[in-house]
């Protein structure tokens, strides 16, 4: 099982404003292979945490390790933002190859069909709807083969059929032993696939529940009640 661990990690967007502190020894916490859902109200540092893991933001202090070594974020991690900003006049295949490398799309044929993207692959990204562009980001994540996938609000704009396909893709990633971190405002679509659910509270990352070996799935209503109690 692959593991991300943290050593006196402090993150934030301004040098004197720490949004989150994580230390694996002190907090008895790490992020492992499987689906890791990160929950918190707006402004608590969810996106900042993902962007720090991805190398977009530098830690204010401390270190991230992967399998006991310094985490090579550029090589091992892929971050996909909630904001779907693309060059207008590129095709989906060109953007996927830019993100994931020139591996071609042959291995994505079934996923393109499942996402109902066959008619969209020949159109410019700037002409696609938000939901269609979101599907393209899922294809890029799958094609990348990065060991750590960091997805910020990846379900936004997806219809029920597309969410079904995205769930199948997550199951494939879990079989491949990837570390998947997702921030989602609609977590109930993913609860039954989660291995760990984390909360950000009091500037700390906390394990809310380990579901990897649980025989009792978390109901949506119980989830809501316990999350509300955690913050109010």
- Number of Cβ within 10 Å of residue 81's Cβ equals 17
Tokens of 100: 């994931």
Residue 179: which of 67, 40, 48, 98 has the closest Cα? 67
Residues 227 and 38: their CA atoms lie apart, in Å, by 12
Quick one: average pLDDT of 30-37?
96
How many domains does one find in the chain?
1
Residue 37: which of 155, 162, 163, 143 has the closest Cα? 155
Residues making up the chain, counted from first to last = 232
pLDDT tier at 124, thresholds 50, 70, 90: very high
- What would the DSSP string read from start to end of 17-83? B--EEE-HHHHT--EESEEEEEE--TTSSHHHHHHHHHTSS--SEEEEEETTEE--HHHHEEEE-SS
Q: Identify the three-state secondary structure at position 34.
A: strand
Question: Which CATH number covers residue 115?
Answer: 3.40.50.300
Residues 107 and 82: their CA atoms lie apart, in Å, by 25
Quick one: average pLDDT of 50-77?
94
Is residue 41 left, alpha or beta, with left meaning phi > 0 and alpha meaning psi from -120 to 50? beta
Residue percentage of the chain with pLDDT more than 70: 95
State residue 215's pLDDT score: 59
Residues 98 and 106: their CA atoms lie apart, in Å, by 16
Residue 136: which of 160, 108, 164 has the closest Cα? 108
Mean pLDDT of the chain: 91
The pTM for the full model equals 0.92
Residues 77 and 56: their CA atoms lie apart, in Å, by 11
Tokens of 13: 């967007």
206 Cβ contact partners less than 8 Å away, ≥ 6 residues apart: 27, 29, 198, 199, 200
Which pLDDT tens digit goes with each residue over 176-204?
Answer: 999 999 998 878 889 889 999 999 999 99
Quick one: average pLDDT of 207-213?
74
State residue 159's pLDDT score: 95
Domain residue limits at 119: 3-231
Q: What is the largest CA-CA distance in the chain?
A: 52
Which pLDDT tens digit goes with each residue over 81-116?
Answer: 988 888 889 999 999 998 887 666 778 999 999 999
State residue 208's pLDDT score: 84
pLDDT tier at 76, thresholds 50, 70, 90: very high
Tokens of 19: 């949004």
Q: Which residue shows structure tokens 């410019």? A: 124
């Amino acid at each position: 099982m692959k593991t991300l661990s943290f050593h006196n990690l402090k993150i934030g967007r301004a040098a004197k404003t720490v949004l989150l502190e994580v230390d694996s020894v002190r907090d008895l916490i790490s992020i492992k292979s499987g689906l890791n859902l990160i929950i918190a109200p707006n402004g608590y540092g969810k996106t900042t945490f993902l962007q720090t893991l991805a190398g977009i933001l530098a830690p204010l202090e401390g270190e991230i390790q992967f399998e006991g070594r310094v985490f090579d974020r550029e090589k091992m991690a892929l971050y996909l933002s909630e904001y779907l900003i693309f060059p207008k006049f590129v095709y989906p295949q060109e953007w996927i190859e830019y993100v994931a490398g020139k591996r071609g799309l042959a291995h994505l044929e079934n996923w393109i069909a499942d996402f109902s993207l066959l008619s969209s692959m020949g159109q410019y990204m700037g002409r696609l709807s938000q939901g269609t562009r979101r599907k393209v980001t899922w294809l890029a994540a799958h094609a990348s083969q990065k060991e750590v996938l960091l997805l910020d609000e990846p379900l936004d704009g997806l219809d029920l059929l597309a969410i079904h396909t995205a769930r199948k893709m997550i199951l494939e990633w879990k079989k491949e032993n990837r570390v998947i971190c997702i921030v989602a405002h609609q977590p109930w679509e993913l609860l039954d696939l989660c291995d760990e659910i984390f909360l950000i509270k009091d500037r700390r990352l906390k394990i809310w529940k380990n579901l990897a070996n649980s025989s009792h799935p978390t109901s949506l209503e119980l989830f809501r009640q316990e999350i509300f109690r955690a913050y109010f």
